[in-house]
Amino acid sequence: MLSSDEHDLFRANVRRFVREEVAPHADAWRARGYIDRDLWRKAGALGFLCASTPEEYGGGGGNFWHESIIIEELARAAFPDFSIPLQNVILAPYLMQYGTEQQKHRWLPRMASGELVAALAMSEPGAGSDVRAIRTHARLDGNDYIVNGQKTFITHGHTADLICLAVKTGASEGQGVRGFSLLMIETDETSGFARGRRLEKVGLKAQDTAELFFNDARVPVDNLLGGIEGRGFYQLMEQLAKERINIAMQALALTEAALAETVAYVKEREVFGKRLIDFQNTRMVLAEAKTMVTVTRTFVENCIARLIDGTLDPETAAMAKWWATDRQCEIIDNCVQLHGGYGYMLEYPVARMWTDGRIQRIWGGSNEVMKELISRTL
């Protein structure tokens, strides 16, 4: 845990940033489908990007508790669309963990400043849950890889400057998971790379999600993450526990925010001459929700502490991801119900929380896949 002073100060800074720089523009960004590029630079200048990356590489030198505060404050403002966690908790750790020194110094400081927005591209039209089925491949040609293939559903696909791309590498094709590598694509400098359309989603309207195409794209061999072919699958798998705790935390934060909205609403709204909170059904539903949120927070915080001290196993992380995201969908649905018709109106935060949160049961390994993983420990 952070000291309470450090915790309060960091939270106050993030809250002010969200209130002043995010909230006033959120509707406009949702309407056009992406956030202002400048927001990344502002977040970088205030130290919110790569918050848990060591200072030596331009990061904030913090840990997952700092990341949790960022997640909570964005959820509180009903704007999880600003996917700082993807940059901080997923992409930066790939570089920190597996990048060569040269790669870390080349990209991390610019990710921390907001100059570079990063994306992770694994999924393909024929390969989502089954990552092994990817077909995008890279063949060596002199000092370059020639990349061909297609990715879909890629968060930041439209805005990313740096894409961590899962490929099958030529020399090791046919070697199963040992045929995987991660290539860092610098989008400005890559011929043969094209972005497809921005995909229309039911929620997270300001988070850009796109298809990517590689048609004889030329990528310098220096951009192979870690510099050794064939390690990609293990690199992806090793980071999954952190990615799943990240999703669990996002789900918890959104649930807590929706519950707070709903408690305030039922204390105001009157039907049949009394406040909604005065109906026993309302109190029962909210008492159950509060209990479930408390149980979830206890579990997720325990997982975060274990993540930080290196003792979190992948199956427990899978439990947290499944549990927190399922509770989120159940509780926020009840929150919508307590809002009546207003809960179905997008101008009410709870309606957006309902649609924004739905993806959590699907991405980062679907909840069905989580249960498969957990079942292996039985």
Active site residues: 243
CB of 238 to ligand FAD, least distance (A): 16
149 in Cβ contact with 137 (< 8 Å): yes
> Which residue type sits at 247?
I
Residue nearer to ligand FAD on the CB measure, 200 or 347: 200
Residue nearer to ligand FAD on the CB measure, 34 or 65: 34
**Measured between alpha carbons, how far is 319 from 88 in angstroms, rounded to an integer?**
22
Signed CA dihedral, 102, 108, 111, 117: sign only: positive
Please state, as a whole number, how many other Cβ atoms lie within 10 Å of the Cβ of residue 194: 13
CB of 206 to ligand FAD, least distance (A): 12
Contact status: 121 vs ligand FAD (CB under 6 A): yes
> Reduced to 3 states, what is the DSSP secondary structure of residue 165?
strand
CB of 183 to ligand FAD, least distance (A): 14
Residue 344 CB partners (closer than 8 Å, separation 6+): 336, 351
Query: Going by DSSP bridges, is the β-strand pair 137-141/193-198 parallel, antiparallel, or unpaired?
Result: unpaired
Contact status: 201 vs ligand FAD (CB under 6 A): yes
Q: Which of 177, 277, 308, 369 binds ligand FAD (CB under 6 A)?
A: 369
Q: Which of 120, 163, 318, 353 binds ligand FAD (CB under 6 A)?
A: 120
Residue 68 CB partners (closer than 8 Å, separation 6+): 249, 253, 304
Contact status: 153 vs ligand FAD (CB under 6 A): yes
Q: Which of 260, 305, 362, 374 binds ligand FAD (CB under 6 A)?
A: 362
CB of 319 to ligand FAD, least distance (A): 16
**Measured between alpha carbons, how far is 305 from 147 in angstroms, rounded to an integer?**
40
User: Measuring CA to CA, how many Å separate 318 from each of 16, 38, 138?
Assistant: 33, 35, 31
Closest residue by Cα to residue 235 from 339, 103, 338, 344: 103
Stretch that binds ligand FAD, among 29-37, 44-52, 272-280, 357-365 (CB under 6 A): 357-365
> Reduced to 3 states, what is the DSSP secondary structure of residue 172?
helix
Closest residue by Cα to residue 111 from 125, 96, 133, 129: 96
3-state helix vs strand vs coil in the chain, percent to 5: 60, 15, 25
- Which residue sits closest to ligand FAD, CB atoms considered? 128
String of contacts with ligand FAD for each residue 295-324, x by CB under 6 A: ------------------------------
Stretch that binds ligand FAD, among 177-185, 274-282, 319-327, 364-372 (CB under 6 A): 364-372
Contact status: 363 vs ligand FAD (CB under 6 A): yes
CB of 270 to ligand FAD, least distance (A): 38
> Reduced to 3 states, what is the DSSP secondary structure of residue 23?
helix
Q: Which of 43, 70, 122, 225 binds ligand FAD (CB under 6 A)?
A: 122
CB of 372 to ligand FAD, least distance (A): 5
Residue nearer to ligand FAD on the CB measure, 65 or 153: 153
Contact status: 368 vs ligand FAD (CB under 6 A): yes
Contact status: 123 vs ligand FAD (CB under 6 A): yes
152 in Cβ contact with 159 (< 8 Å): no
Q: 47: which strand partners?
A: none
Residue nearer to ligand FAD on the CB measure, 55 or 372: 372
CA 214 to chain centre: 24
Contact status: 154 vs ligand FAD (CB under 6 A): yes
Residue nearer to ligand FAD on the CB measure, 52 or 83: 83
Contact status: 172 vs ligand FAD (CB under 6 A): no
> Reduced to 3 states, what is the DSSP secondary structure of residue 272?
coil
Residue ranges in contact with ligand FAD by CB under 6 A: 119-123, 128-129, 153-155, 201, 209, 359, 362-363, 366, 368-369, 372
